[in-house]
Every structure is written in C-alpha cells, then in structure tokens.
Structure 1
Amino acid sequence: MLRTSFVTEESVYGVILVSGMIVVAGGHGETSWQVFWTVVVTVLVFWAAHVYAGTVAHHGFDDHRMVGLGEAFRGALRRSFGMLVAALIPSSILLLGAARVVPDLLAIWTALWVGVLVLAVLGLIAFRRRGASPVMQVVGALGTAAFGIAMILLKAVIH
C-alpha cells in the first residue's frame, strides 16, 4: 500500500514543492524552524487544494458511471497521500536544525540533498515497477533526481 501510494506523481510533486519552499524560505537567512513552518503550512495548503480539486474533478460521471461525493473524496485522499509523505523526511531534517542538533544551514542543505535522494528512489521504484531494464531504472532515477539538483542549483544562486 505505501509503495503504491507513495510512488505517484503527487509524491514527486510533493518533494519538488518541499525543495522549492526550502530554497525560497531558506534563501533569506531564516532559521530551520522558520523554514520548517513555511514548508509545513505550504504543503498542507497545496495538499488540501489537491484533494479538493481531485474531489471536484471526479465527482459526478467518471468512466461512464456515477461517482458520489464520498467516493470522489476518498479517491482524492488516496491519490494525494504521497504529497504528505514526501514532506516528512525533509521536514524531519529541518526539525533537527530547529532543535539545534545540527546548525540551521546544515539542516537546510541536508534537507535539499535528501530531497534529491528521495526523488532518485521514487524514479527508480517507478521505472522498476514498470519493468524497465536496470539501465533505464538508473536513467529514470537520475532524471527524477535532476529536479532536486535543479533546486539545489537555484539555492546556490540565491544564497
């Protein structure tokens, strides 16, 4: 269930969203605590909007059958689960900075690099699940991770 729910377009989008928020919030000298709250609030707003949009889009007739509001809502929740899960790892790392376990800047950069790793794993699993060759699995992992690398380059330019 977790693998099916987590390796989705929503989870990839969620990691990229979190990375983008870390870049933006962390680009102005904020603490890990401030970046953490910016990320959490933003992800929750985007997640709620995604669930709402999915509910509205699938309520009514879908695939030539009637879909009730409850069924549409449950489906939207299920599809968007990966967006929330994707934010857990980088947010946890930001909390390490907020708790002063590691310096703020280290927490922010580590959260970004871990985002790259999570994207690579998502790409690898997605390509493996579709029966791609080992070479294409690596290519898929690198292609997905490239979005995280783009965020890190953006952070380097901003910082």
Structure 2
Amino acid sequence: MGDDGSLRSKSGNETAAFLVRSAFVTEEAVYGVILVSGMIVVASAGEATVWPVFWKVFATVIVFWAAHVYAGTVARHGLDEHEDLGLREAFIVSLRRSLGLLLSAFIPLLILLLGATRAIDDAYALWAALWAGVVVLAVLGFVAFRRRGSPWPMQILGALATAAFGIVMIGLKAFIH
C-alpha cells in the first residue's frame, strides 16, 4: 500500500502480492476452505451427480460470505481502534476482509463444475475438490508462517497443521459414504 493508504502507488506486481496477502491469506480464507470441504461432504451424501452438490456448495458460500460482510459491517460501523468508521467505510473494510472466504471456494467449486459439466467423472470431481482443499489449506498455512518469518521447519509444520483440517473432512467423507 502506498503512503496515503491507497493501492495506486504500488506497481502491478506489488499490488497483486498485497491483495493475495490481505485478501487470500486470512482466517476467512482458511474458514472458507473448511466450509466448502464440509459442504462437499454433506451435500454429496445421496446425490447421484455433482450438479446438486455444486449448487448447494455455491449457494452456501454466497450466503456465508454475505453474512460475513454484513456482520463485519455492523460490528465495525462506528467502532474502530483508530477512528470512527461510517457505514460505507465499515462496509468496504468488511468486504475486503471477507474476500478470502469467497476466493478460497473458487478452486474446489471449479473442480465440482468440471464434474457437473462431465469434463471429469463425478466421483473424481468430488474427491479432487476435497484434495484441492487440502492443498489450498497447506499453501495458506505455509504462506502465513513464511510471512511471519518462521524458520522453514515451522513453515512446513504450519502447512501440515492447516492441511490437517482438510484431511479431517476427507476422513469424514470416507466414514459417511
């Protein structure tokens, strides 16, 4: 971010890196991947095709994201550590903070869509979407520990610990189905 708090004074690469760090590598992103994985597990029970799973997961992500933006706006409106936030500013801050929840669903939903459109087999799409969630969680954990300056063994441990939440979802799918 520039000295004035805007994105204007950064180069394209710096702006993209800032957006990845501030929007994607967040607790909202971790929560979003776990939410999507859990929804895949629950929504796929008894479904013959991936289409209904895709739409249930998609709708749930949109509702949770909208609720997160709304809750953040209400919580931040008029209350901030450094200044009094108006409704518009509170909404913008909440919208930016919640992008990780929305963006984190993209890869698993894309894989489900590939299954729904028959580009890949339905069963493969479900399992691939769950494993993609594990990979995304591992990357989020790794990047979070790396940007805090942790030594590489802690970065790996952080990636494995974060990915473990996705592994739990895969275990649930195997157990339930």
TM-score in terms of structure 1 length: 0.97
Q: What does residue 141 of structure 2 align with?
A: 123
Contact 2:47 2:53 in 1 (8 A): no
Deviation at 1:31, TM superposition (A): 1.5
Gaps of 5+ in 1: none
Q: Which has the higher contact order (CA 8 A, sep 6+)?
A: 1
Q: Which has the larger radius of gyration?
A: 2
Q: Pick from 6, 19, 23: which aligns with 1:2?
A: 19
Deviation at 1:30, TM superposition (A): 4.0
Dislocated runs of 4+, deviation >4 Å? none
Q: What does residue 115 of structure 2 align with?
A: 97
Q: What does residue 97 of structure 2 align with?
A: 79
Q: What does residue 150 of structure 1 align with?
A: 168
1:6 is matched by which residue type in structure 2? Answer: F
2: CA distance between counterparts of 1:3 and 1:104?
31
1:141 aligns with 2:133: no
Q: What does residue 29 of structure 2 align with?
A: 11
Q: What does residue 49 of structure 2 align with?
A: 31
1:55 is matched by which residue type in structure 2? Answer: T
**Cα-Cα RMSD:** 0.9
2:93 is matched by which residue type in structure 1? Answer: G
> What number of residue pairs does the alignment pair up?
159
2: CA distance between counterparts of 1:64 and 1:106?
49
Q: Deviations over 1:109-136 (max 9, x none)?
A: 0000010000000000000000000000
2: CA distance between counterparts of 1:61 and 1:110?
42
1: CA distance between counterparts of 2:27 and 2:48?
30
1: CA distance between counterparts of 2:77 and 2:85?
5
1:51-90 map, 5 Å: 51-63=69-81, 65-90=83-108
Q: What does residue 114 of structure 1 align with?
A: 132
SS of the equivalent of 1:111 reads: helix
